[in-house]
A and B are shown apart, each in its own frame.
Chain A
Amino acid sequence: MTGDAPAHTAPPSRALPGGGESRLHRLVAIVVDKPGVLNRVSSLMRARNFNIDSLAVSRTDREGYSRMTISLHGDDVAVEQATKQLYRLIDVLKVQDVTAEPTVEHELALVKVRVGEGSRADVLKLIELTRGRVLDVSPDSVIAEVSGSEAEVDNFVACVRDFGIKELVRTGAVVMARGSSSIEEAVKR
Chain B
Amino acid sequence: MTLTKNERARRSHEPAAGTEHAAAVERAQREMLHEGSSSPAVRTAERGVRPRIGADVVCEALLRQGVDVLFSYPGGVILPLYDILGDYPELRHILVRHEQGGAHAADGYARVTGKVGVCVGTSGPGATNLVTGIGTAMLDSIPLVAITGNVPSALIGKDAFQEIDINGITLPMTKHNYLVRDADELPRVIAEAFHIARSGRPGPVHVDITKDALQQETAAVHPSGDEVVAGLPGFRPTLEGNYKQLKLAAAEIAAAERPVILAGHGILHAHAEAELKAFAEKINAPIAWTLLGIGAIDETHPLAYGFMGMHGWKHVNRAIQSADLLVALGMRFDDRVTGNVRTYAPYARIVHVDIDPAEIGKNVAVEVPVVGDAKRVLTTLTPMVEAVPADRRKPYLDQLAEWKRESEGSSWHGSGAWRDGLLSADYVVQRIGELTDHEGVYVADVGQNQMWLARYAGFRHPNTHLSSGGLGTMGYSMPAAMGAALGTDREVWAIAGDGGFQMTLQELMTLVQDDIPVKIAIFDNKKLGMIRQWQEIIYAGNYHSAALRGPDYLKLAEAYGIPATKASTPAEVDDAIRFAQAAKGPALVWFEIAGEQNIFPMMPAGKGLSDLIEEWGDAE
Interface residues, chain A, with chain B CB atoms under 8 Å away:
1-6, 9, 11-17, 31-32, 36, 39-40, 43-44, 47, 77, 80-81, 84-85, 87-93, 187-189
Contacts and interface: CB of A to CB of B under 8 A. Distances in A.
Interface stretch (B102-110, B227-235, B381-389): B227-235
A87 B201 CA distance: 13
Given A6-B258, A44-B172, A88-B358, 20 more contacts: A1-B399, A5-B321, A12-B346, A12-B347, A13-B342, A14-B345, A14-B364, A17-B361, A31-B234, A32-B234, A36-B167, A40-B171, A43-B172, A84-B357, A87-B358, A88-B175, A90-B175, A91-B234, A187-B233, A189-B233
A119 to B, nearest CB: 47
A14 to B, nearest CB: 5
A14 B172 contact: no
A89 B399 CA distance: 46
A46 B382 CA distance: 41
A43 to B, nearest CB: 6
A6 B176 contact: no
Contacts of A15: 365
A88 to B, nearest CB: 6
A81 B171 CA distance: 19
Interface string B233-245: 1111000000000
A6 B258 CA distance: 10
Nearest to A37: B234
B344 interface: yes
Nearest to B200: A88
18 contacts: A1-B399, A4-B322, A11-B343, A13-B342, A16-B342, A17-B361, A17-B363, A17-B364, A31-B234, A43-B172, A87-B357, A88-B356, A88-B358, A89-B176, A90-B175, A90-B176, A187-B233, A189-B233
Given A5-B321, A81-B358, A88-B356, A14 B399 contact: no
Contacts of B176: 89-90
Contacts of A39: 168, 171
Interface in B317-358: 318, 321-322, 324, 341-347, 356-358
Main secondary structure of the interface of A (DSSP, over half): loop
Contacts of B171: 36, 39-40, 43
A2 B358 CA distance: 38
B473 interface: no
Contact of B365 (A11, A17, A47): A17
A17 B367 CA distance: 12
Nearest to B235: A90
Contacts of B360: 84
Contacts of A3: 322
A11 to B, nearest CB: 4
A77 B172 contact: no
A25 B594 CA distance: 56
Contacts, number: 86
B316 to A, nearest CB: 13
B365 A90 contact: no
Interface string B168-203: 100110011000000000000000000010000000
Contact of B610 (A1, A2, A4): A4
Contact of A77 (B232, B344, B347, B365): B365
B395 interface: yes
A51 B236 CA distance: 27
Contact of B346 (A14, A89, A91): A14
Contact of B347 (A11, A16, A43, A81): A11
Contact of B232 (A40, A88, A90): A90
A14 B321 contact: no
Contacts of A32: 233-234
A81 B361 contact: yes
Contacts of A88: 175, 356, 358
Contacts of B318: 4
B246 to A, nearest CB: 20
A6 B357 CA distance: 32
Contacts of B346: 5, 11-14
A81 B344 contact: no
A16 B341 contact: yes
A11 B363 CA distance: 19
A14 B358 contact: no
Contacts of A12: 346-347
A184 B357 CA distance: 22
A157 to B, nearest CB: 35
A85 B172 CA distance: 12
A5 to B, nearest CB: 5
B401 to A, nearest CB: 13
A1 B233 contact: no
B365 A93 contact: no
A94 to B, nearest CB: 8
A128 B175 CA distance: 51
A14 B234 contact: no
B456 interface: no
B358 A1 contact: no
Nearest to A11: B346
Contacts of B167: 36
Nearest to B233: A93
A81 B399 CA distance: 38
A13 B608 CA distance: 12
B362 interface: yes
Contacts of B172: 43-44, 47
